[in-house]
Each structure stands twice: as C-alpha cells, then as structure tokens.
Amino acid sequence: MKDRLAFSAPVAAAQAEGRAIVALESTIIAHGMPYPENVRTAREVEAVIRGLGAEPATIAVMGGRIRIGLSDEELELLGRSGEAAKVSRRDLPAVLAGGGLGATTVAGTMICAALAGMRVFVTGGIGGVHRGAETSFDISADLQELAKTSVCVVCAGAKSVLDIGLTLEYLETHGVPVLSCEQDNFAAFYTRDSGFRADYRYDDPREQAGFLRAKWELGLEGGVVLSTPVPEGAAMPREEIDRITRQALDEAAAQGVVGKAVTPFLLARIKALTGGRSLATNIALVKHNAEVGARLALALARG
Ligand code: PSU
Ligand code: MN
C-alpha cells in the first residue's frame, strides 16, 4: 500500500516531526471552481493553514500514485487541465491503475487522508442527499464514506443544492456526529443557517479535539462533520440563492444532467446566475473552514 502513496517533502517533514497536518481535496479545484480562481484559491487556502502553523496537504491522483501534498506547479496542472477525473471511492482503482490525473472528492480524499494517517480534512461543503433523491437515488458517496472512514471533515455545511434535512437524517442513521462551531445550527454553504440544529456545538478547538479523541479511542470508527458558517459579510442573501438554486435545478433536469456531473453543473450555473457572487462566497467559506481546520489539527497534534 505504501507504494501507492507519495508524500511531498514538506508534508513528509511535518509528519516526521509530529506537526499538525490538514488534508485538502482537489475536486473543488478541478470541478468546483473555474480557472484561474480555483488555483488561486487553492494556494490561498494552503497559505491560511501555514499561517496558523499547520501544514496543508492537498490530495490528488497523478502518475499512478496518490499524491499527499502538491507543489504550486501541480496545483496549476490540476486546475487548468480540464481533464482530471472526479475521483470518489469507486473511481480510485481505475485512475490509479490507469495512471491518469484524478481530482479527489470528499469521499476520495477521506480515504487517502486516512491511508496517510491524517485526521483533519477541510473542504467547502460536503455532498449529500439530493432533492428528489426518492426518485433519482442521487445520494453522494461522501455520506457513506463518513459512515466508515475516521476523518473529521470541516465544512460550511452541505452544499445548499441538496436536501439538508434528508442529508442530516442519513448521517444520523449511520452514526455520523455533526458538530458545529460559532453557532448552534448546521451551516448552509452559501448562507449561514440551514434551520437545522447540529448535534453538538464546540467553539473551542480543544473541545472539538476532545470529542474526536473520545470517539476514536473507543474504536467508534467513522467520520465526523464539523460545520462552521460562512463569514457574515460574505454570505449570499437567502431568497436570492434559493431562487437561483431552484432555477439551476430545473435546468439540470431539463438538460438531463445526471450522476457525477450534477454537482459541478449546479455550482457553475449558480455562479453564472449570481454574476460570480456565489464564487466569491464559496472562496470565502473555504478559507474560513481552513482556519477552523488548522486550529483543530493543532489542538489534536498537541495531544
Ligand atoms: N465543496 C465545494 N465545492 C465542490 C465540492 C465540495 O465548495 O465542488 C465537491 C466535493 O469534492 C464533494 C463533491 O465531494 O463536490 C460532491 O459531489 P457529488 O454530489 O457528485 O458526490
Ligand atoms: Mn451524486
């Protein structure tokens, strides 16, 4: 298995010294945001984490190996190629064996982070149960991964294009704890409040770390969701985002968009329909998540 993983020098050094490391995904770079904002954001997110004293490890698949930590050039390649596969659990073997370029989703990144010995992972918003899932069966593999892989995913809630209530029900069924920080409720990606309560609120990273230790020391395998809301000034107006999301969903249905193409299609349409403002919100929330994730990784590393 070790041959399948390739650590960058800075990540290997951080690991050898027992320093805090934060995993980052790459689907958000290759499929979640347009070039060049995607690459700029990826670098800025890494800088936020470094600035707080932790080491970022962006994860992707390249040349038949899982890469843990990417150089600036590799981030550029990933963000600009337009050809990276979207890699979830089912896709990982194909992209590794085929030797191509792969951008890992939340599910894919959780698997790789766990293999690399990392416990904290920052993304924008997790995937979940799509609206209308009772007929489409579209439920993100992210949820199933959270049920089994022991990594804490720091996010601004689940993407607002989803059915948030059903997403939380699914997580509850699978025993995935949903923690919140900075507010009682689960965040709603482009807006702060989903209207649903998180299971436990811990504002202090030491409390968050204490929860994770207690869970995993007991052998209770599986992930944890830590939600934190988009900063006030960067949030979208709720009515506007709701209306535009419905329009984007209608367009996806009319054009027959299905499977792994759904989420990238919706994010791109929402960006266009908001005149780019949703992208600014997405960038702001990811950077804020990176702060929360770095503080948590530091608290965990202090032991
Ligand atoms: N967060 C973002 N933008 C994104 C994603 C998350 O701010 O593009 C990606 C993640 O990689 C997540 C994926 O795993 O969207 C969900 O895709 P799907 O619904 O097809 O499982
Ligand atoms: Mn899906």
DSSP string, 23-69: EE-SHIIIIIS-TTHHHHHHHHHHHHHHHTT-EEEEEEEETTEEEES
Radius of gyration of the chain (CA): 18
Q: How many CB atoms lie within 10 A of CB 173?
A: 10
As a whole-number percent, the residues of the chain with pLDDT over 90 amount to 98
- pLDDT the model gives residue 236: 97
- Each residue's pLDDT tens digit, 247-262: 999 999 999 999 999 9
Looking at the chain, the number of H-run helices and the number of E-run strands are: 13, 11
Annotated active-site residue 169? The verdict is no
- pLDDT the model gives residue 69: 98
Q: Which of 86, 159, 215, 260 is catalytic?
A: 159
The encoded tokens of residue 283 equal 């960038």
- Each residue's pLDDT tens digit, 4-31: 999 999 999 999 999 999 999 999 999 9
- pLDDT the model gives residue 217: 97
- pLDDT the model gives residue 146: 98
- pLDDT the model gives residue 280: 98
Residue of the CA atom closest to atom 2 of ligand 1? 124
> What atom of ligand 1 comes closest to residue 162's alpha carbon?
19
Q: Which residues surround ligand 2, an ion (CB under 5 A)?
A: 138
Sorting pLDDT into bands at 50, 70 and 90, what band is 303?
A: confident
Q: Which mutation among 27, 104, 167, 271 tests ligand 1's pocket best, with the greatest number of atoms within 8 A of CB?
A: 27
- Each residue's pLDDT tens digit, 88-118: 999 999 999 999 999 999 999 999 999 999 9
Is the pLDDT assigned to residue 2 strictly greater than 80? no
Q: Is 236 exposed, middle or buried (0-12, 13-18, 19+ CB in 10 A)?
A: buried
* Nearest Cα residue to 150 out of 218, 204, 54: 218
Domain count along the chain: 1
> Counting ligands in written order, which one lies closest to the CA of residue 133?
2
> Counting ligands in written order, which one lies closest to the CA of residue 110?
1
What's the rounded Cα separation, in Å, for the pair 237 and 46? 28
Sorting pLDDT into bands at 50, 70 and 90, what band is 1?
A: confident
Range of the domain at 227: 5-302
138 lines ligand 1 (CB under 6 A): no
Q: How far is CA 66 from CA 111, 113, 223, in A?
A: 10, 10, 20
Taking residues 172-180, what's their average pLDDT?
Answer: 98
- pLDDT the model gives residue 298: 98
3-state secondary structure of 255: coil
Bridge partners (DSSP) listed for residue 197: 185
- Each residue's pLDDT tens digit, 203-239: 999 999 999 999 999 999 999 999 999 999 999 999 9
What's the rounded Cα separation, in Å, for the pair 106 and 202? 23
Here the CATH number for the domain that contains residue 104 is: 3.40.1790.10
User: In angstroms, what is the span from residue 8 Cα to ligand 2's centroid?
Assistant: 31
Residue of the CA atom closest to atom 9 of ligand 1? 28
Quote the mean pLDDT of the chain: 97
Find all residues with CB under 8 Å of 53, minimum gap 6, and list them.
Answer: 20, 294, 298
> What atom of ligand 1 comes closest to residue 106's alpha carbon?
14
